[in-house]
Chain A
Amino acid sequence: MSVPYIRLFHDMRNIAINGTDIPDGTLELLSRRLPPSWRIAGRGSGGVITLRAPDGSTGRMTVVNRRRMDPRDVLALERLVGRDLSSQLVVAPFLSARARELLRDSGASYADATGNVRIALPKPGLFIEAEGARKDPSREKRPLASLKGPASGRVIRALCDVRPPYGVRRLSEIAQTPPASVSRVIALLQREALVDRDERGGVSAVDWAKLLQRWAQDYQVLSSNEPASFLDPRGVSAFLQRVPTYKRPIAVTGSLAAVRRAPVAPPRMAMAYVEDPAAAAKALALRPADAGANVMLLRPFDPVVFVRTWTEEGVSFAALSQVAADLLSSPGRGPAEGEELIAWMGKHPDAWRA
């Protein structure tokens, strides 16, 4: 029989890294599920477990203990052992609904650390099935590795725009983000020493300037959002003058916003968030630009870009925290302008921070 090397390796991985002992916690959980007067009689060598019925008869199952047992691993197990797994007890920290379904189909017994248990012993006859967790609890606990996503963006914007202290619940309201996601973001920021937490888990201090710089490492204005380039043949200022006539949500960002506060050069490129760039371009009399674009419309990574905006001369500008992150992650002189803006924000916290 020829087995592709990759497949063989995949199968071997599961065997190699796992033992045959049932972890104590799972064993105890299993024994509690047994009917009264059934016992776990022994854990023999070679990963065999023996169950004893009230009448003294015993049945044996081979333990397959895995750190992970994904649905595809069940299929791999079948290839190793055979389609009939009725003499196998699969043990893992967590078994997904799909993995359990596949195990059931092949007659296997199983037990995970969350309480998903199935014992189907033909002789002496025993059948137990119990439900544990539907979601892998370790997945929830796995630390957040990046600040790319919309939830991170909303939480970071809230941490910058609103002064602490606040608890997770309050922050979750400000950021319009579930508390679990807020906690994960805060945990990452705490690891990176960008926020301080009090003894009750709330946020007591935020280094917002460093936080914006850290955000801009993962968030990129031109790739996190969806940009489209246009030409306003009358120039960037003319575009800005037309913005108040646009009746859908719009938030001007980039140097056109920064120049209102910080000493940055006159902008050559207008940047604005709109829900639908094509429709907005039409309404704002912009031309499609193959070359010479001077207006960039961005479909936002999240509606948070329209939150806590400020208005001057009828023009709605993105919050300065958003503008700063957009500049820091822009090409060309954007990062330098972002630094200028952050310096201004540092000197005038009352002008932008609630």
Chain B
Amino acid sequence: MPGAPDPLYVNAREVLLEALEALGAHRASLILVGAQAIYFHTGEADIAVAPFTTDADVVIDPTSLADQPVLGEALQASGFVAGQDPGQWFKDEVRVDLMVPETIAGPGRRGVRMGPHGNRAARKARGLEGALVDHETREIASFDGSRRFAIAVAGPAALLVSKLHKLAERAGEAGRTKDKDALDLLRLLRGIDVETLVRAIGRLRSDDRSATVTGEALQYLERLFGRPDSLGSTLAARAAEGLEPADTIQQSCAVLANDLLSAVRPS
């Protein structure tokens, strides 16, 4: 039976809320992505793993970002410490990543040149473009209910696209793929019905900002999850070890990936 949320997850949620509070003035330019956004849509999506994540991923839409207050200063004032890479902010051992979708991030290698905010407040990332197109405002609260903010949360299709990019990008690099990312993808496939995903993927494909990364993501879906023995399917099974049989997870990945792929392919 699901018990109390994992303390790590509770802490990660707290730190996310603190970041949102610190960035109060810019909240309208922020979109929650990553695992915390996924659990927002899926709950547990029937995988008997308490969903926990120790990081919080936030997309910044630079096109609507005001000049003041300066992002870094606001975060530091609330006790966040800048990490080694651009866009990394730490508090209580929880990492908050501020990211800008690559397609709209402009020049620069990793950091995003954001005028008065500098080059290190946020980092470029490919695959997050969908969040700009597919999101809705939801209320996010701490587990004890003491704090709540309205914030845009990326939709399931945008999250699917970004997770697939993350998995594909890391698939070639030994030691960087995370089993949990694959399991999060299965959570999305299990928790969201095909029709909802198909409609949203249609919107992502028809928007210039997200069309390319969405097409790429569908190729990644086939490559990483198209068969029970594909890389993503086996990673998901490993993440669910001891909770659900590996065969069940691997078969489920392949069945759901192919259901979605055949539904979005032009007939």
Chain A residues in the interface with B (C-beta under 8 A): 231, 233-238, 259, 266, 268, 287, 289, 291-294
CB distance from B128 to the nearest CB of A (A): 26
Q: Are A291 and B251 in contact (CB under 8 A)?
A: yes
Known: A259-B1, A291-B228. A235 touches B190 (CB 8 A): yes
Q: Are B1 and A294 in contact (CB under 8 A)?
A: no
Known: A233-B251, A233-B255, A287-B255. A292 touches B46 (CB 8 A): no
Q: Determine, out of B95-103, B177-185, B241-249, the stretch whose residues face the partner at the interface.
A: B241-249
Measured between beta carbons, the chain A residues less than 8 angstroms from B256 are 233-234
Q: Is B263 an interface residue (CB 8 A)?
A: no
Q: Is B150 an interface residue (CB 8 A)?
A: no
10 A-B interface contacts by CB (under 8 A): A233-B190, A234-B191, A234-B252, A259-B1, A266-B48, A268-B244, A291-B228, A292-B228, A292-B248, A292-B250
Q: Within the complex, which residue of A231, A238, A293 is in contact with B46, where a contact is CB–CB below 8 Å?
A: A238
10 tightest CB-CB pairs across the interface, nearest first?
A235-B46, A292-B247, A292-B251, A292-B248, A233-B252, A233-B255, A237-B46, A291-B247, A234-B190, A266-B48
Main secondary structure of the interface of B (DSSP, over half): helix
Q: Are A235 and B1 in contact (CB under 8 A)?
A: no
Chain A minimum-CB-distance residue to B190: A234
Bound state CA distance, A237 and B49, in angstroms? 13
Q: Is B47 an interface residue (CB 8 A)?
A: yes
Q: Are B46 and A236 in contact (CB under 8 A)?
A: yes
Q: Are A235 and B251 in contact (CB under 8 A)?
A: no
Bound state CA distance, A30 and B99, in angstroms? 106
Q: Are A231 and B1 in contact (CB under 8 A)?
A: no
Bound state CA distance, A293 and B252, in angstroms? 10
Measured between beta carbons, the chain B residues less than 8 angstroms from A236 are 46
Chain A minimum-CB-distance residue to B45: A235
Max chain A C-beta neighbours (<10 A), residue from B190, B228, B248, B252: B248
Measured between beta carbons, the chain B residues less than 8 angstroms from A233 are 189-190, 251-252, 255-256, 259
Q: Are A292 and B252 in contact (CB under 8 A)?
A: yes
CB distance from B25 to the nearest CB of A (A): 41
Bound state CA distance, A266 and B249, in angstroms? 16
Measured between beta carbons, the chain B residues less than 8 angstroms from A289 are 251
Bound state CA distance, A287 and B249, in angstroms? 14
Q: What mask results when residues 232 to 267 of chain B are scored 1 for a CB within 8 Å of chain A, else 0? A: 000000000001111111111001100100000000
Bound state CA distance, A287 and B256, in angstroms? 11
Q: Are A231 and B48 in contact (CB under 8 A)?
A: no
Bound state CA distance, A235 and B44, in angstroms? 11
Measured between beta carbons, the chain B residues less than 8 angstroms from A235 are 45-47, 190, 244, 252
Chain B minimum-CB-distance residue to A237: B46
- Docked complex: B40-55 residues within 8 A CB-CB of A: 45-48
Q: What mask results when residues 207 to 246 of chain B are scored 1 for a CB within 8 Å of chain A, else 0? A: 0000000000000000000001000000000000001111
Max chain A C-beta neighbours (<10 A), residue from B47, B255, B259: B255
Bound state CA distance, A250 and B103, in angstroms? 52
Chain B minimum-CB-distance residue to A234: B190
Measured between beta carbons, the chain B residues less than 8 angstroms from A287 are 255
Chain B minimum-CB-distance residue to A231: B251
Chain B minimum-CB-distance residue to A259: B1
Measured between beta carbons, the chain B residues less than 8 angstroms from A234 are 45-46, 190-191, 252, 256
Bound state CA distance, A124 and B251, in angstroms? 86
Bound state CA distance, A259 and B48, in angstroms? 14
Bound state CA distance, A14 and B219, in angstroms? 80
CB distance from A229 to the nearest CB of B (A): 11
Measured between beta carbons, the chain B residues less than 8 angstroms from A291 are 228, 247, 250-251
Bound state CA distance, A268 and B47, in angstroms? 10
CB distance from A118 to the nearest CB of B (A): 68
Bound state CA distance, A73 and B162, in angstroms? 82
Bound state CA distance, A238 and B45, in angstroms? 8
Measured between beta carbons, the chain A residues less than 8 angstroms from B45 are 234-235
Bound state CA distance, A126 and B49, in angstroms? 89
Measured between beta carbons, the chain B residues less than 8 angstroms from A237 are 46
CB distance from A245 to the nearest CB of B (A): 14
Known: A233-B252, A237-B46. A292 touches B190 (CB 8 A): no
Bound state CA distance, A233 and B256, in angstroms? 7
Measured between beta carbons, the chain B residues less than 8 angstroms from A268 are 48, 244-245, 248
CB distance from A242 to the nearest CB of B (A): 12
Chain A minimum-CB-distance residue to B248: A292
CB distance from A315 to the nearest CB of B (A): 15
Bound state CA distance, A293 and B47, in angstroms? 15
Chain B minimum-CB-distance residue to A236: B46
Q: Are A294 and B255 in contact (CB under 8 A)?
A: no
Bound state CA distance, A172 and B249, in angstroms? 47
CB distance from B149 to the nearest CB of A (A): 30
Q: What mask results when residues 42 to 77 of chain B are scored 1 for a CB within 8 Å of chain A, else 0? A: 000111100000000000000000000000000000
